[in-house]
Structure 1
Amino acid sequence: MKREKIFTGSPWESTVGYCRAIKIGDKIEIAGTTAMKDGKVVGVGSSYDQTKFIIERIKEALAELGADLSDVVRTRMFVTDISKWEEIGQAHGEFFHAVQPVSTMVEVKSLIHPQLLIEIEAEAIIDNKIC
């Protein structure tokens, strides 16, 4: 099957050997996405703002591959402070209330930058219909 890949131009992509998103057949996988833009953290100190920014970035990657948020079937959220689950959940729900993908949220010790509070992965299947 053909692989369509999206890259951000981040120096980490070539060093680590990964891409931002990949589409194989009707399945799309979005790599762990953080609230970084132009080397700076967006929404410093706010799990809610970082979550919203991340989901917007995921939405953009999906669009580049011919999909949208309604095609998402799973999200995985890695958070540095699980006590912030409600504000993270609120932001997630603003995008996925009607879609209701399966979702996982786990607390991790840290992310790649100390000001990052959340990282999200997503999986989508094109032409997935909302129940």
Structure 2
Amino acid sequence: MSQAVQRIQAQAVPELATASWSNALLLGNELVMSGMTGHPATRQAAEAGTPLGAYEQTLVVLNKALALVEAAGGHIGNIYRLTVYLTRIADKDEVGRARRDFFEGLACYPTSTLVEVSALVFPELVVEIEACARLDIDMRTAPTR
């Protein structure tokens, strides 16, 4: 028997009319999110002459992921996995700082992979993040074994 799939949408993460992907799909209790960037905030900041750095872009993206989790009925403690794509590996400490600030207060951090890539879809982007969440877990109170 096949499982119901729901497309999750959030106002903070608009889907492009021309997109050939979904930002987030809920498969039972599992929320799978596409890679997200800080666009369009990064474009607006770059055009204003104040480009967003890796720290700021990471926070923008993590807040987008959280908006999708909340739209699915979840909370920050449901996010358990991140894959981070970074155009300058030297920015890894700033990404780590943003993750620490964003997930502050959780019993443990989500699992994570961070890799350097040569470029992202727009030149002002330095970070892209894929996230996974489960609505039946809570990282805010996860015990250590």
TM-score (norm 1): 0.89
Separation in 1 of the partners of 2:133 and 2:67?
13
> Where do 1:2-81 residues align within 5 Å?
2-7=4-9, 8-13=14-19, 17-37=20-40, 40=43, 42=45, 44-81=51-88
Separation in 2 of the partners of 1:9 and 1:39?
17
Q: Find the counterpart in structure 1 of residue 103 from structure 2.
A: 96
Separation in 2 of the partners of 1:91 and 1:83?
14
CA displacement at 1:39 relative to structure 2: 8.6
Question: How many residues of Structure 1 are paired with residues of Structure 2 in the alignment?
Answer: 128
| Residues 79 and 108, structure 1, Cα contact 8 Å, conserved in 2 | yes
Moved over 6 A (4+): none
Change in CA separation of 1:59 and 1:25 when aligned onto 2, cut-off 3 Å:
same
Relative to total residues, which structure has the larger strand share, 1 or 2? 1
| Residues 35 and 128, structure 2, Cα contact 8 Å, conserved in 1 | yes
TM-score (norm 2): 0.81
CA displacement at 1:30 relative to structure 2: 1.0
Q: Give the gaps of 5 or more residues in structure 2.
A: none
Q: Which protein shows a greater Rg?
A: 2
| Residues 35 and 41, structure 1, Cα contact 8 Å, conserved in 2 | no
- Percent of aligned pairs with the same amino acid: 25
Separation in 2 of the partners of 1:71 and 1:38?
25
CA displacement at 1:81 relative to structure 2: 0.3
CA displacement at 1:95 relative to structure 2: 1.7
| Residues 41 and 115, structure 1, Cα contact 8 Å, conserved in 2 | no
Change in CA separation of 1:84 and 1:67 when aligned onto 2, cut-off 3 Å:
same
How much is the aligned-residue C-alpha RMSD, in angstroms? 1.9
SS at match of 2:122: coil
Q: Give the gaps of 5 or more residues in structure 1.
A: none
